[in-house]
Copies of this chain bind each other. A is one copy, B any other.
Amino acid sequence: MARRGHRTKHRQKRVANAIEQLPWRDVVNPYGPTSVLGDEQLELIIDGALTILETQGMRFLEASSRKQLALAGADVDEEKQMVRFDRNLINEKLALAPDEFGLRARNPAHNLHIGGNHVVFASVGGPAFCSDLEKGRRPGTYDEMCDYLRLVQSLNIVHQEGGGPFEAMDLPAETRHLDLHLAQHRLTDKNCQSYALGGQRSKDSIEMACIALETDRAGLLENPAMLGIINTNSPMQLDIPMTEAVQELAGSGQVCCITPFTLAGSMSPATLAGTLVQQTAEVLAVTCYSQLVRPGAPVMYGSFASNVDMRSGSPALGTPEYTKAAQASGQIARRLGLPFRSSNTTVSNCIDGQAVFESEMSLWGAVMGGANLVNHAAGWLEGGLTASFEKLILDAEMLQMMAEYLRPITVNDDEMALDAIAEVGPGGHHFGTSHTLARYESAFYSPILSNRQNFESWAEAGSIDAGKRAQAILKQLLQEYTQPELDPAIDEALVDYVDRRKADTES
């Protein structure tokens, strides 16, 4: 475990011109969500979902889940592994799930609130590859993944780490998640998502959270700290690893973020209405099951609804359909009383204009759709196959802009500035007034990477575009990174856990 703190010392030296960014902030949406569905449409979709669950049902591949569902009154066809749900059963169990809850972080200042009009931005989770402008797109290493985690810790606008930015391909697949969780707890003091693939991995994430937070299962039940993404195998199926993850997470009172993977035209019907019906049916079925595992366990309504490109069958993300589906999903989630999860997506293969406009279409869909968690909010590229270092910085700028957009305009005598308008008079200039000087530092959003030089100055300085500026910023952030304090005893206990589990796996 020689890695521990190996770069801490030189990183604590702060450079003179530190990267400016917004302070950590609890982001809330005061404007209220956009409604893209009428009330009647909303009810039709929910009714359609309940009808699907009553007439066709959902396939649960894991045997014990079917048993438990049958005991609760669901209609189980063991041969087909199909479970049909009466709508009263669904509604009864749905009512048990909380509409808001907290998520503890190692640093209490970084605790999260999920629900209401709160918006949490999580970093990208799950890609197979990483990329940067210097070395291109490649399988990533553990060291590179640790650098990514350092950036996630450094960027205040990223509220939550997304469960591992990319696979550390230099480590064995079986125990890679242990090294990830160790790095999460050491290199960040933010809330970190679980690597929720299967029961044992989910259990490991929970055990290590207990160690890191100096608590136990009872404490974690009281104050959840772990969120895992539960992807259904759309259409209408829940596989064994994901069922085990529900059992572990819900069983210990941690958060199941239930997210069907419904690309209209392949994993769901080639219509948004059909896709929303199916997505809702899948979320409701798994929600119902989660409340059998533990009544009151926190769950989220996740949407990843988009469409395929009908000419190629390829996924299309950050599309107009994606934006509409996100906002419609938010309406459905609120109607069901569940917090809502959306994402920041793009299928672009590089950090070009497409990557940015698809991300913006996703972000506006999510934020104005009332998302309580914007998953993959920073760093995602290439349909989620790659975590990009520069995209992380570009996204952080976009997220900061959204957060500032969500700060309402103050209207009072001082801000309306009638005296300043009169003082300056026609054709005058406000730059030197006392009203302006009093606001010099904080009047307006100050960007991380946006350039406001005129063309000549910009060209003279080398015509550096946003991607290249992002590259310089991430290098500086890594230079400026300070590893958060971690009690050596906790660190040791985490290392012990990892070593013990690795030994178990080898034996």
A355 part of interface (Cβ distance < 8 Å) = yes
Chain B residues, Cβ within 8 Å of A459: 349
Given A51-B418, A265-B444: A320 and B273 interface contact (C-beta under 8 Å): no
Contact code string A349-383 (vs B, CB < 8 Å = 1, else 0): 11111111111110010001000000000000011
From B281, B323, B466, A352 is in contact (CB under 8 Å) with B466
Chain B residues, Cβ within 8 Å of A353: 351-353, 355-356, 394, 465-467, 470
A364 and B41 alpha carbons, distance in the complex (Å): 25
A364 to chain B, nearest CB (A): 5
Q: Give the most central of A429, A435, A436: most B CB within 10 Å.
A: A436
Chain B residues, Cβ within 8 Å of A59: 426-427
User: Could you tell me if A360 and B356 are in contact, using CB atoms closer than 8 angstroms?
Assistant: yes
Which residues in A have some Cβ–Cβ distance to B below 8 Å?
Answer: 31-32, 34-37, 41, 44-45, 48, 51-52, 55-56, 58-59, 82, 137, 233, 235-237, 264-274, 276-278, 281, 307-316, 319-321, 323-324, 328, 347-361, 364, 368, 382-383, 385-386, 394, 397-398, 401-405, 407-412, 415-418, 420-422, 424-431, 433, 435-436, 439-441, 443-446, 449-455, 458-459, 463, 465-467, 470
A195 to chain B, nearest CB (A): 24
Chain B residues, Cβ within 8 Å of A424: 235
Given A48-B416, A236-B425: A37 and B356 interface contact (C-beta under 8 Å): no
User: Could you tell me if A431 and B320 are in contact, using CB atoms closer than 8 angstroms?
Assistant: no
Chain B residues, Cβ within 8 Å of A273: 409-412, 415-417
User: Could you tell me if B425 and A386 are in contact, using CB atoms closer than 8 angstroms?
Assistant: no
Chain B residues, Cβ within 8 Å of A452: 309, 312, 314-316, 347
A386 and B459 alpha carbons, distance in the complex (Å): 14
